[in-house]
Structure 1
Amino acid sequence: MEKSNPRTKKFVRKRDPKLLTEILSTLMFCMLFPLLINQIVTYLILSHKETQYIPVKPKQEGTDTCSGRYVYIHNLPSRFNDDLIKNCEAYIELRNKCKYLVNSGFGPRILEDNHNNTTQVLTIETGSWYNTNQFMLEVIFREKMNHYECLTNDSSISSAVFVPFFAGFDVRRFWGYSVKLRDELGEDLARWLKERPEWRKLNGRDHFFVTGRVGRDFRRASDQDWDWGNKLMRLPEFENMTMLSIETNSWSNEFAVPYPTYFHPKSVTEVKGWQRKVRMMKRRYLFSFIGAPRPEMEESIRGEVIRQCLASEGRCKFLNCETSKDCGYPVKVMEVFQDSVFCLQPPGDTPTRRSTFDSILAGCIPVLFHPDSVYNQYKWYFPEDHTKYSVYISEEDVKNGKVSIEKLLGMVGEERIWRMRNELEKIIPKLIYAKPGEVGPEKIEDAFEIAVSRVFERVSLFNMSHI
């Protein structure tokens, strides 16, 4: 029964359950509507063409599997990356590299060619072999980072910050120009980074970038126009950052990662198939060398290496890159390596060689002549005991004629050869850059994954030292 209150003229009555439900629904809608709008706006922002990723937070049974592994990617203005490769043809020094930019830096896919024995040499049916240029790492790495499983748009929870700067393309386009031109873009990036709130968190010590060039290209010793490279790594901001490059010349904040090879598989199963193929190879040559002589370099041992190879009466295969076009064909290169028990890797213009990684991929035991060719460089990727996977011959002994390469390699026993090739098999997955996107048990712990993990460790150690 209704009761009237004459002073307020309001009615007090028993609550209707239906009315109560409607009131609660309205209140719930009012609370959730702003959240819904926020999600829609966030989605629209993330869908903008300049956004490269959507934050991912994998969970297993309520546990955040990305904890301690989140990466925030700076959305750099295009002048720092895409413009450099979009205008590739405009720079004389870059023109011969432009054709390799396809397929996100993997280069043109290698197709079946019976004349070149492609199907016999490569696992061509997988579609994972490409004519990859050795200097494409920064393009490849960015593509893989854009598919990394633990990206975030919230830099406050990130463990590392990736800077997708194409430093190698920048330094290469102004070869021989004034130091002002060579330094201009790097200085511009340093100013841009300092203005970002993400930088102020640790003054850039959690920031890292990748370059497809060797470290010395970014550490010009003087400001004279005749001096080599730019001074990127001498800028105060970049002294705080971590640089990953194919060869380092400083062990403070530079770390070497493998050169790209021709093989970019998608799954562990595919890698195991390649390992089986390599294991079953019948090798006709005791040793081989693929490369060009360096007569203009007095300290180079290549002349002596070539002389000994040619004098071996068929036990060594020499592919002369000065006169043969075959060095530009991945199938021909891999065929020589697959046919050889040992592959000679003397230094070229710098101590390291892309050829070393191609030969290991083929199961060919590398013969090294300088500790900086591998041992002092790629410590994240190889066993500390280098005798497990390689043969070392001193450069000085070769120069002074104290060693016969053929005789020394001929004395290596079959059991040791088997052990070294078995070790190389284990190393192969660590040296490749797999196709991006695979997750779960078929995901390959490749060179990219190892590098990112080590960056996290480096940032973590820095944080611990400043607690």
Structure 2
Amino acid sequence: MRTHRELMEKSNVRNCRNYFWFVIFASSVFWLFFFYFHSSDIIKGMNRFTSSTNEYAYSVVSREPNSLLLKENSIEASTRLSLIDNGVQPVNRLPVTEKEAEPFNETIFAENENELGNSPSVTEKGIESDNEIPIMENREDACSGRYIYVHNIPNQFNYDMLKNCSSLSEWTDMCRFVSNSGLGPPLVNSKRVFSGTGWFRTNQFALEVIFHNRMKQYRCLTNNSSMASAIYVPFYAGLDVGRYLWGFNTSMRDSASLELAKWLGARHEWKVMAGRDHFLVAGRISWDFRRLTDDNSDWGNKFMLSPEAKNMSVLVIESSPWSSNDFAIPYPTYFHPSRDCEVFQWQNRMRRQKRPLLFSFAGAPRPSLNRSIRGQIIDQCQASGRKCKLLKCDTDENKCHNPYSVMKMFQSSVFCLQPPGDSYTRRSAFDSILAGCIPVFFHPGSAYVQYIWHLPQNYTKYSVFVPEEGIRKGKVSIKKLLLRISKEEVKAMREEVISLIPRIIYADPSSRLEILEDAFDLAVQGVIEKVNSVRREIRERGNYSVGYAEENSWKYNLFGTEGEHEWDPFFSVPKDSNS
């Protein structure tokens, strides 16, 4: 017979077991209800976490300067040359094939393993490896309306010229100047005239090489010409004509451009709009491509007068005011930054720069040009004492071609004189803007009717205009005229000049500015807008015509009208004159 204690212990054990199972049951019910009510929130939270992680990863990738250049191998030209003083070193790139039809779009993934494996990754310094991480995100196409198709023209029209760089000029060793993607040798800042990085001894005729290399870094390239807003032809027209300007007959000077025209005319891309959506960059003045006769003593070639060139948009460092198909873009300067901050720092330095000189001039007289005012300008500068500094390039040639001497003088000057020389425009005008020096122009053809995509239409905001006739007749004192400009006006003009610096420089082709638009960006934008206007007219009228007298091109481009203008007397000379 069990004792009372045994019965009590058995009862306690039973109660503990019942309590234990009750706790387990209650806990189970509790957790079931908890997960029932909160499972959806947990899943959403996990999704949010995953999404945030992906967004962060994408933002890190997208902040890399060149990470959006997917499939660059499929759109590059066949070879990119890196030239050094001792020779040519090709950097191999895969060629564009004419049958490729896929757009170069940062939102498109590699469709197969081989394509992904062959695509290069792009870093701040350029293409460095064959590894690439595709951006796996559906986004709106940011390149819509901005795509550029690049013709894969035969190497004889560009790269072969660089291989034979020693024959590009009769007077200059161009091998040095076409190195570094056309920027030339780096400049050492030993005299503290420049900033720390981004400065090169750039030749004024190297623009087409620089532009071509910049185009390789353009965000919105496509290998589907039907998607392109414009089609770029990387023909080095300026280097081509430059090698034959002295001692060669007209047939030799015309041969490459005629062959290119034949090649383009056979392409299906050309036939869509008869080339009116095509453009190229010729890094010389328009007059070098407008020979009127077949006399061997006549200057230049006939490229700009060919039917093919007349249909294209041709970007030159100086355009003809009487032509509707060529557009001026800035001469290259010595400054080619790779980051936005380098530009901002330079602008701030030019704002703080002390300028003891009222005005300065770097140039030589032109006694062979009857209407040149350079002789009078040199005389006035020399008569102005310490108010003016002169680099007389017929006697101080070494200083005039020395970037240190030129830039130091411009940085010390409030105003920089920019009279016409052999032609209307000067590279010096852009060097002076880069130095924060207010340019003084004597002919509207020197800037105002030229760089319509890059300089303000209201020229009084950034420059001083002195009609050359007053200088020619000795009725205008440059010194007195400039002294009459108030300090407040000078300050406002200088600030405007400094604000223009990003618009007149070409960034280093090995990188890309992220915030600022440089001269390359504005030129591409200008071409696209021009081609779009042609397309609209073709849709509305069924054909395309200029619609105004070509001799009034400068007025129509600037003001959209052919009415009378105060500058008409400046452009009353014959079309074939550049004096």
TM-score (norm 1): 0.86
- The amino acid that maps onto 1:287 is F
CA distance 1:387–1:286, change in 2 (3 Å): same
- The amino acid that maps onto 1:196 is R
Q: Partner of 1:450 in structure 2?
A: 522
In the TM superposition, what are the counterparts of 1:316-355 in structure 2 within 5 Å? Answer: 316-324=388-396, 325-355=398-428
CA positional deviation for 1:391:
0.7
CA positional deviation for 1:43:
9.6
CA distance 1:43–1:328, change in 2 (3 Å): closer
Q: Partner of 1:197 in structure 2?
A: 268
In structure 1, how many angstroms separate the alpha carbons of the residues matched to 2:512 and 2:534? 29
- 1:179 matched to 2:253: no
- 1:57 matched to 2:130: no
Q: Partner of 1:305 in structure 2?
A: 377
In the TM superposition, what are the counterparts of 1:91-110 in structure 2 within 5 Å? Answer: 93=170, 95-110=172-187
Q: Partner of 1:373 in structure 2?
A: 446
Q: Partner of 2:469 in structure 1?
A: 396
CA positional deviation for 1:91:
5.1
**Structure 1 residue ranges (4+ consecutive) displaced by more than 4 angstroms after TM superposition:** 42-48, 52-55, 437-440
In structure 1, how many angstroms separate the alpha carbons of the residues matched to 2:511 and 2:93? 24
CA positional deviation for 1:50:
5.3
- The amino acid that maps onto 1:102 is S
Deviations 1:75-102 (A, max 9, x none): 1111101111211213552643232111
The answer to whether the 8 A contact 2:338-2:512 is kept is no
Q: Partner of 1:357 in structure 2?
A: 430
CA positional deviation for 1:219:
1.2
CA positional deviation for 1:159:
1.1
CA positional deviation for 1:242:
0.5
Q: Partner of 1:226 in structure 2?
A: 297
In the TM superposition, what are the counterparts of 1:40-55 in structure 2 within 5 Å? Answer: 49=92, 51=94
In structure 2, how many angstroms separate the alpha carbons of the residues matched to 1:43 and 1:365? 41
- The amino acid that maps onto 1:62 is R
> Equivalent residue of 1:63, what SS?
coil
Deviations 1:53-75 (A, max 9, x none): 79631348520001111111111
In structure 2, how many angstroms separate the alpha carbons of the residues matched to 1:43 and 1:425? 35
Over the matched positions of the two proteins, sequence identity in percent amounts to 49
In structure 1, how many angstroms separate the alpha carbons of the residues matched to 2:222 and 2:451? 29
CA distance 1:142–1:44, change in 2 (3 Å): closer
Aligned counterpart in structure 1 of residue 323 of structure 2, from 244, 251, 254? 251
CA positional deviation for 1:222:
1.6
The answer to whether the 8 A contact 2:210-2:509 is kept is no
Structure 1, 53-62 or 225-234: larger mean CA deviation: 53-62
> Equivalent residue of 1:314, what SS?
helix
CA RMSD of aligned residues (A): 1.9
The answer to whether the 8 A contact 1:267-1:444 is kept is no
Aligned counterpart in structure 1 of residue 359 of structure 2, from 287, 299, 305? 287
Aligned counterpart in structure 1 of residue 343 of structure 2, from 259, 265, 271? 271
CA positional deviation for 1:437:
5.5
Query: 5+ unaligned residues in a row in structure 2: which ranges?
Result: 1-70, 79-91, 97-101, 108-136, 540-579
> Equivalent residue of 2:474, what SS?
coil
Structure 1, 429-438 or 258-267: larger mean CA deviation: 429-438
In structure 1, how many angstroms separate the alpha carbons of the residues matched to 2:257 and 2:242? 13
Q: Partner of 1:34 in structure 2?
A: none
CA positional deviation for 1:383:
1.3
> Equivalent residue of 2:166, what SS?
helix
In structure 2, how many angstroms separate the alpha carbons of the residues matched to 1:170 and 1:286? 41
Deviations 1:199-245 (A, max 9, x none): 11111111100011000111111222221111111111111111000
The answer to whether the 8 A contact 1:288-1:309 is kept is yes
CA distance 1:208–1:412, change in 2 (3 Å): same
The answer to whether the 8 A contact 1:312-1:406 is kept is yes
Deviations 1:93-145 (A, max 9, x none): 264323211101101000132xxx2x2x2112xx2000101110000000000
Query: 5+ unaligned residues in a row in structure 1: which ranges?
Result: 1-41
CA distance 1:425–1:52, change in 2 (3 Å): farther
In structure 2, how many angstroms separate the alpha carbons of the residues matched to 1:286 and 1:423? 18
Q: Partner of 1:170 in structure 2?
A: 240
> Equivalent residue of 1:243, what SS?
strand
In structure 1, how many angstroms separate the alpha carbons of the residues matched to 2:171 and 2:326? 25
CA positional deviation for 1:262:
0.4
In structure 1, how many angstroms separate the alpha carbons of the residues matched to 2:73 and 2:498? 46
In structure 1, how many angstroms separate the alpha carbons of the residues matched to 2:229 and 2:146? 6
Q: Partner of 1:3 in structure 2?
A: none
The answer to whether the 8 A contact 2:74-2:223 is kept is no
CA distance 1:369–1:456, change in 2 (3 Å): same
CA positional deviation for 1:420:
0.3
The answer to whether the 8 A contact 1:434-1:444 is kept is no
CA positional deviation for 1:447:
0.4
Aligned counterpart in structure 1 of residue 491 of structure 2, from 387, 393, 418? 418
In structure 2, how many angstroms separate the alpha carbons of the residues matched to 1:132 and 1:355? 13
In the TM superposition, what are the counterparts of 1:19-30 in structure 2 within 5 Å? Answer: none
CA distance 1:100–1:439, change in 2 (3 Å): closer
CA distance 1:52–1:406, change in 2 (3 Å): farther
- The amino acid that maps onto 1:383 is P
In structure 1, how many angstroms separate the alpha carbons of the residues matched to 2:380 and 2:468? 14
CA distance 1:367–1:198, change in 2 (3 Å): same
The answer to whether the 8 A contact 1:94-1:172 is kept is no
- 1:146 matched to 2:219: no
- 1:130 matched to 2:178: no
CA distance 1:50–1:237, change in 2 (3 Å): farther
Q: Partner of 1:159 in structure 2?
A: 229
Q: Partner of 1:26 in structure 2?
A: none
In structure 1, how many angstroms separate the alpha carbons of the residues matched to 2:483 and 2:468? 19
In structure 1, how many angstroms separate the alpha carbons of the residues matched to 2:435 and 2:318? 22
Q: Partner of 1:460 in structure 2?
A: 532
Aligned counterpart in structure 2 of residue 211 of structure 1, from 282, 286, 290? 282
Deviations 1:21-68 (A, max 9, x none): xxxxxxxxxxxxxxxxxxxxx999779745367963134852000111
CA positional deviation for 1:267:
2.0
Q: Between Structure 1 and Structure 2, how many residues are aligned?
A: 418
Deviations 1:280-313 (A, max 9, x none): 0110100000111222222211111111101112
CA positional deviation for 1:151:
0.7
Larger Rg: 2
In structure 2, how many angstroms separate the alpha carbons of the residues matched to 1:309 and 1:211? 34
CA positional deviation for 1:170:
1.0
In structure 2, how many angstroms separate the alpha carbons of the residues matched to 1:168 and 1:99? 17
In structure 1, how many angstroms separate the alpha carbons of the residues matched to 2:290 and 2:425? 17
